[in-house]
Chain A
Amino acid sequence: MSAPTSPPKAQVLAVMTQAFRDGVPHNAALGLEMVDVGPGEGYATMRLPYAEALVGDPATGVLHGGAISSLIDATCGAAVFMKLTRPLAIATLDLRIDYLKPATPGLDVFARADTIKLTRNVGFVRALAYHDDPGDPIAAATGTFMIGTKGTSVAQRANRAPRAPEGTGGGTP
């Protein structure tokens, strides 16, 4: 099924790791790290390392919901990107986040996002944030993304750096 031009997953992960950190200053400021990608399948997992600077409740050390929003927004965008057959700029149209329980102080937060449908114009995404068990989530999110907006895609920006992410989206017929 997958196109012969699809680069191996490890290569896509390396490119996405770099693109989503070096091409997105706020991701770098948060210390966000790409930990898994599903080129063609349209999913991504990112990690937000626990940091004192991101605490929302100074009495308990619980992370601020805003930091988790950024993690989820970035991961959802990456998941849409992993569903594209060619690199296009995307933009969040809307994002709903349910905060299910406070994050545990000191622990990293992961987010896994899945593109459940990609049309010509819009990508539809679901995401969960959790510590180590997606079955015990911290937050759940639903988002929509516009496809092909102005500006260059993270991959195009990474393109200027070594290792072209040609066909990053890979595989999708």
Chain B
Amino acid sequence: MTVSHAELVSRVERARRDGDWTPVTDAIPYARFLGLAVEMRDGELLTRMRFSPPLVGNASIPALHGGTLAALLECASIFQLLAEMETVVLPKTINVTIDYMRSGRAVDTFAKATIARLGRRVASVHAVAFQDEQRTGVASATGHFLVLGRDDAP
């Protein structure tokens, strides 16, 4: 499936109005591969990674593959930028640092991202992944993203 950048941007604009991000995640093959869904809960954006057996890294515990948590945190950071920037530009990841705190269990995982700084060229975003109500951190990430072309920049 090919979705142009213009179409992707218009899907993001629509999602920001009506809160339904499914058309956005549907457009990204890798987001479907991981089983990602963006959910609005009490006014905050959460990215959910639905558990499925192909996400397992260590079958003996079982624990999620570290790469899936990295991908979830990176995606949550990008979705947060897409949701919060005045004008929609597609962020490009410069780098991500992932800290793994405990093994991810074989259940759904949520990620909450917070924009630490939104500059003219670069955004810094923190994200935490958790699997319980207390939001006990399973993994966290700090990422830097190029956000060139924002015309809402200071």
Contact = CB atoms under 8 A, between A and B. Distances in A.
A49 interface: no
Contact of B97 (A66, A91, A95): A95
Centre residue among B5, B58, B61 by max chain A CB count within 10 A: B58
Interface string B36-68: 000000000000000001111111110111111
A99 to B, nearest CB: 5
Q: Is the interface of B mostly helix, strand, loop or mixed?
A: mixed
Nearest to A77: B66
Contacts of A99: 92-95
B28 A64 contact: yes
Interface string A65-107: 1110111111001000000000001011111111100000000
B24 to A, nearest CB: 10
Contact of B96 (A69, A71, A91): A69
Contacts of A63: 30
Given A53-B33, A64-B28, A95 B66 contact: yes
A95 B72 CA distance: 14
Contacts of A97: 70, 95-98
A106 to B, nearest CB: 14
Interface of A: 23-30, 52-59, 61, 63-67, 69-74, 77, 89, 91-99, 150-152, 154, 157
Given A99-B94, A157-B59, 19 more contacts: A24-B59, A25-B57, A25-B59, A26-B67, A29-B55, A55-B28, A59-B3, A65-B74, A66-B30, A66-B70, A66-B74, A67-B67, A73-B70, A94-B97, A94-B100, A95-B100, A97-B98, A99-B93, A154-B58
